[in-house]
Structure 1
Amino acid sequence: MENLEAVKAVQRMQDYIESHLESKITLSDLARAAGYSQWHCARIFKALMGKTPFEYIRALRLSKAAILLRDEKPKIIDVAFDFVFDSHEGFTRAFSKQFGIPPKKYSCNPEPIELFMPQRILEYYNMLKRGDIKMSENTNAKNTRTVFVQVVQRPKRKILLKRAVSAKDYFEYCNEVGCDMWGILCSVKEAIHEPAGMWLPKGLITPGTSEYAQGVEVPADYSGKVPEGFDIIELEPCKMMVFQGEPFEDEDFMDAIEELRDVIAKYDPKIYGFEWADDEAPRYQLEPQGYRGYIEARPVREINR
């Protein structure tokens, strides 16, 4: 891993790309944003991101275009020009190469595809530095913080998910499967909610697969394509107790996870007439996003009195 200054420089380039994605971007622009020479910027970007700046920009533009085609059905030519492609034909070739399906066909009948959803490099850097810390190991929250708790009713539904072999948490899952499942899950048009990491109850774990998986909920009548290597399973209606922590700085996401999990471990749902029902449904964790706080949801059932 490069030093922190290089990581911050690449992060500045990522931020510039995100805010100028629908405009022409040159290496000179990225160099000014990063504060280094063009040659040095190109080198550290490729080293840290695994793509040249322009491979990264193209993959990101195509993924943003795919979401637009999936949700809004615009004209292909308009999307091509919006994302700085010179022609309808050039966009169609690039889209087909990236996703294995022409944009027109995809717009008419969206199917799960592997969107390019890059992680902020500064977050990844901090995760690597602290990757030996398990989410459940630190049970002493540093400060008393507010946690919002609510119970929600979940209807009958299905989950489209990708299993691992023996993973028990996010880090082990990434080691076994990779950290790129989010792109496919986010492309599912019929998704009821955002993708989630999940701990499956024993009844939903198939032999030779893991407790921890990643997936997305879809309606009970979902009949769309199941990507290769994925499973789809049915879930009965249930109640979920949702825990949401306070907003946090992005680099502090591990602390936010540990603090909330400490609260959940000590929480007694019987106070409100419930008990844990981990055998009835998966337990979820949503992607840590600082602006909203870290969120986990655990199944519960009412206690008969």
Structure 2
Amino acid sequence: MWEVFIAENVVNDILKWLETQLQRNEGIKIDTIANKSGYSKWHLQRIFKDFKGCTLGEYVRKRRLLEAAKSLQEKDMSILDIALMYGFSSQATFTRIFKKHFNTTPAKFREHGELPDTRRFMSCENS
């Protein structure tokens, strides 16, 4: 019983920390998250997947994509700058991953894309 409570608190703390990092546009590395949590990377991944249904890496990628999509709509920045700002290694990588999740390119999304329902998009069942 206590293990479940503690693990749930760890996951909630991680989610809060991730949101802070995203708002600051700071890098998010799973090793850093593991160090902050006090758990090994492997153990942290297992705890996170048990509670959220997807890996920490999948969750982080979807959060970064959602923030990037918001930036495409709200900011007058190049697609490359947005890709780099959210931790993608290149515009090509960003475009490939973006298209997989949004079924359109970042450029077309910027013109007339609509943000998805956040809860549905972030659901790990859609990973």
Q: Matched residues in 2 for 1:16 and 1:23: separation?
A: 11
Name 2:125's counterpart in structure 1: none
Deviations 1:129-161 (A, max 9, x none): xxxxxxxxxxxxxxxxxxxxxxxxxxxxxxxxx
Name 2:13's counterpart in structure 1: 12
Report if aligned partners of 1:69, 1:107 keep a CA contact under 8 Å in 2.
yes
Once superposed, what is the RMSD of the aligned Cα atoms? 1.9
Q: Matched residues in 2 for 1:116 and 1:78: separation?
A: 23
Identity of aligned residues (%): 35
Deviations 1:12-40 (A, max 9, x none): 21122222233332222111222222211
Q: Map of 1:1-305 to 2, 5 A cutoff?
A: 3-21=4-22, 22-111=25-114, 113-117=115-119, 180=120
Q: TM-score, normalised by structure 1?
A: 0.36
Higher relative contact order (CA 8 A, sep 6+): 2
Q: TM-score, normalised by structure 2?
A: 0.82
Aligned residues: 118
Structure 2, unaligned runs of 5 or more: 122-127
Deviations 1:180-237 (A, max 9, x none): 3xx6xxxxxxxxxxxxxxxxxxxxxxxxxxxxxxxxxxxxxxxxxxxxxxxxxxxxxx
AA matched with 1:15 = K
Moved beyond 4 Å, runs of 4+: none
Q: Matched residues in 2 for 1:110 and 1:73: separation?
A: 15
AA matched with 1:20 = Q
Report if aligned partners of 1:12, 1:33 keep a CA contact under 8 Å in 2.
no
Higher percent of residues as helix: 2
Q: Matched residues in 2 for 1:8 and 1:73: separation?
A: 38
Deviations 1:247-280 (A, max 9, x none): xxxxxxxxxxxxxxxxxxxxxxxxxxxxxxxxxx
